[in-house]
């Protein structure tokens, strides 16, 4: 069975998008996702995005990390899908309803209300999530924010100096995080600018993480590390504009692009 796909990215965080809104696809399992995502033998991507019809929104977006895990939110993919859809839409995700609006070269996304309660993150036990009494080999006292998906945020003097390829997987899989966690290392670089690197749950180091930029900006504002309620977050793949609005919603604006389209034989990967 030949299946069409669209390869897209947001600041280099890349996606294989399967659009099943008008024609259903066979069920997707973790093995199928991992095979498609494999950059050596598959099409290759950080996340696989599946669009489906929805009852209570314009459509549903399902998000699968390259390790096959299905997760609740993906900021960069939300912008890519907004561009693909071509007009404003309400999108149902496992992390809740988001609002997407294409702009000239990307999109503006309302990611919804951030959560800070330890059991909403979730954490394995009660803890202050503004400055957690934990540490891993020099990374200390992070903040934790759920923006549909779980993030832990470390503020450091030199983000590039952190061995995130070693500490990321260790923290991602720590028993403190029952659903694992996205690991953010951020450096304040100005009154409204942050430099961010992310070890993504289920995907590893990526060029950009939209939800990571959202979580990090909210954590920086909660900590009083930046002025006002908006920041430019500089990721390896480029900048995102994040605002935590006065009515408690996290808004993300940034680029997205289509790379190419193609088809693959479902039987090769199922
Ligand atoms: N790895 C994330 C999903 C993708 C998030 C990232 N690609 C983004 O743009 O938000 C998670 O497991 O929650």
ipTM of the complex: 0.92
C-alpha 214 to ligand 1 mean position (Å): 11
pLDDT digits (tens, 9 = 90+) for 51-87: 999 999 999 999 999 999 999 999 999 999 999 999 9
Q: Which atom of ligand 1 is nearest to the CA of 180?
A: 12
pLDDT at 33: 96
pLDDT surpassing 90 at residue 270: no
C-alpha 200 to ligand 1 mean position (Å): 6
- Provide the strand spans (E) within 201-249: 204-205, 230-235, 238-244
Q: Is 45 a catalytic residue?
A: no
Same fold, 2-111+256-268 and 118-248: yes
What would the CATH number be for the domain defined by 118-248?
3.10.310.10
How far is Cα 185 from Cα 71, in angstroms, rounded to an integer? 21
How far is Cα 33 from Cα 241, in angstroms, rounded to an integer? 30
Enumerate long-range contacts of 186-189, CB under 8 Å, 24 or more apart: 186/153, 186/154, 186/155, 186/156, 186/159, 186/216, 186/219, 186/220, 187/155, 187/156, 187/157, 187/158, 187/159, 188/155, 188/220, 188/225, 188/226, 189/234
pLDDT digits (tens, 9 = 90+) for 95-124: 999 999 999 899 999 999 999 999 999 999
Give the predicted TM-score (pTM) of the model: 0.98
* Fold type of domain 2-111+256-268: Diaminopimelate Epimerase; Chain A, domain 1 (3.10.310)
Please state, in angstroms and as integers, the Cα–Cα distance from residue 255 to each residue in 41, 81, 103, 120, 212, following that order: 28, 11, 8, 29, 16
Question: Domain-by-domain residue ranges, the chain?
Answer: 2-111+256-268, 118-248
C-alpha 182 to ligand 1 mean position (Å): 7
Please state, in angstroms and as integers, the Cα–Cα distance from residue 53 to each residue in 28, 95, 200, 265, following that order: 15, 17, 27, 23
Q: Which atom of ligand 1 is nearest to the CA of 200?
A: 1
Q: Which two tokens stand for residue 88?
A: 């404003």
Q: Which two tokens stand for residue 54?
A: 């929805």
Q: Is 214 a catalytic residue?
A: no
Tokens 């600018």, residue located: 193
Q: Is 248 annotated as a binding residue?
A: no
């Amino acid at each position: 069975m030949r299946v069409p796909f669209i390869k897209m990215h947001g600041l280099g965080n890349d996606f294989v998008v399967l659009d099943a809104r008008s024609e259903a696809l066979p069920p997707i399992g973790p093995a199928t996702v991992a095979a498609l995502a494999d950059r050596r033998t598959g099409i290759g991507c950080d996340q696989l995005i599946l669009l489906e019809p929805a009852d209570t929104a314009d459509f549903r977006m399902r998000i699968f990390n390259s390790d096959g895990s299905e997760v609740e939110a993906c900021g960069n993919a939300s912008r890519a899908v907004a561009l693909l859809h071509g007009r404003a839409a309400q999108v149902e995700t496992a992390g809740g309803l988001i609002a997407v609006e294409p702009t000239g070269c990307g999109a503006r996304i309302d990611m919804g209300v951030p959560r800070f309660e330890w059991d909403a993150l979730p954490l394995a036990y009660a803890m202050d999530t503004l400055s957690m009494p934990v540490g891993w080999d020099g990374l200390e006292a992070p903040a934790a924010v759920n923006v549909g998906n779980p993030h832990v945020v470390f503020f450091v003097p030199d983000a590039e100096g952190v061995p995130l390829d070693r500490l990321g997987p260790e923290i991602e899989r720590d028993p403190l995080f029952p659903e694992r966690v996205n690991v953010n290392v951020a450096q304040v670089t100005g009154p409204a600018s942050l430099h961010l690197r992310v070890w993504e749950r289920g995907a590893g180091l990526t060029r950009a993480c939209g939800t990571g930029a959202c979580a990090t900006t909210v954590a920086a504002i909660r900590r009083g590390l930046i002025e006002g309620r908006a920041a430019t977050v500089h990721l390896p793949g480029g900048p995102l504009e994040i605002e935590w609005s006065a009515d408690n919603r996290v808004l993300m604006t940034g680029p997205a692009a289509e790379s190419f389209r193609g088809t693959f034989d479902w039987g090769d990967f199922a």
